[in-house]
Amino acid sequence: MKRFDNKAVLVTGGAGGIGLATAERMAAEGASVMIADYNLERAREQAARLNAGGCRTEAVFFDGGDVQSAVDIVRETVRRFGTIDVLVNNVGGNDLHRDLDIVNLDIDYFDTIFHINLRSQIVTSKEALPTMMAKGGGAIVNVASMSGLLGDFRGSMYGMTKAGVISLTRYIATQYGKQGVRCNAVAPGLVMTPAATGALPDNLREIFLRQNAVHYLGEAADIAGTIAFLASDDARYISGQTITADGGMSCHNPTVQDIIELSKTGGK
């Protein structure tokens, strides 16, 4: 018996990066997985590839900026699989040309980023919860970010949307736990997906490597493993939590690396 046998799972942004790794992981563990993505062609390709390996996956178009699209993908999952047991709210993103420090950010980008990163997660949850409660339960896993927990020199609105995702997680867990629904979030640090690496020069990569407690940078599969755990019965006593998956970047005093460097040069 696999962990997700007979479970219907919806993964938003499932055609690439963390979403695809999650779809792969949960499908390999027995789930029927709906891959929802605005790159429908790639979603279909990935679904076909997984199905050729014996999985059961399907693809559906999803526009994270559109409310009706968020409603539609939940309905389509229920229509094709008969129900929805697990919702993975993974879609999110940022335009670092517009989302800067507070003084210089482009406030006209506010609606776009809040709609994609937070409103879409509210709407899919709102649509999926009644079905989950009617069958006695389910699990929602939201993909937040360390940016929702810490300050940064840019990406201000992104951080605020992710803080909203963390709050949404607690509200869902509080309001629907008694009806059998658990809701948790994962807060990744830097993860080597195409979106992240595209914006990452080598010198920045070195900074992240230096600041991580572990000696490597995270892969999409690392976050997928955390998501699958939170969605599974292995996490049945965990709800309303945000699990940090950042290679230990946020576990230490921020001065540690500087003081190590100083000690190498004879300083204290």
Ligand X SMILES: NC(=O)c1ccc[n+]([C@@H]2O[C@H](COP(=O)([O-])OP(=O)(O)OC[C@H]3O[C@@H](n4cnc5c(N)ncnc54)[C@H](O)[C@@H]3O)[C@@H](O)[C@H]2O)c1
- Total residues contacting ligand X by CB under 6 A comes to 27
In this chain, which stretch among 11-19, 77-85, 175-183, 234-242 interacts with ligand X, using CB under 6 A?
11-19
As a whole number of angstroms, the distance between CA 152 and CA 159 comes to 8
Judged by CB under 6 A, which stretch of 89-97, 105-113, 173-181, 201-209 contacts ligand X? 89-97
Pick the closer one to ligand X by CB: 93 or 177. Answer: 93
Tell me the C-alpha to C-alpha distance, in Å, between residue 160 and each of 99, 150, 164. Answer: 11, 10, 6
Helix (H, G, I), strand (E, B) or coil at 124: helix
Cα 122 to Cα 172: distance, rounded to the nearest angstrom: 9
What is the residue-wise DSSP string for 149-196? TS--SS-HHHHHHHHHHHHHHHHHHHHHGGGTEEEEEEEE--B--HHH
Measured from the CB atom, the residue of 165 and 181 that comes closer to ligand X is 165
Structure tokens at 126: 């709102």
Q: Which of 8, 9, 11, 16 binds ligand X (CB under 6 A)?
A: 16
When asked if residue 157 is in the footprint of ligand X (CB under 6 A), the reply is no
Listed ranges 123-131, 183-191, 235-243, 249-257: which one lies at the site for ligand X (CB under 6 A): 183-191
> Which residues participate in catalysis according to the annotation?
158
Applying CB under 6 A, the residues found at the interface with ligand X are 13, 15-19, 37-39, 62-65, 90-93, 116, 143, 145, 188, 190-191, 193-196
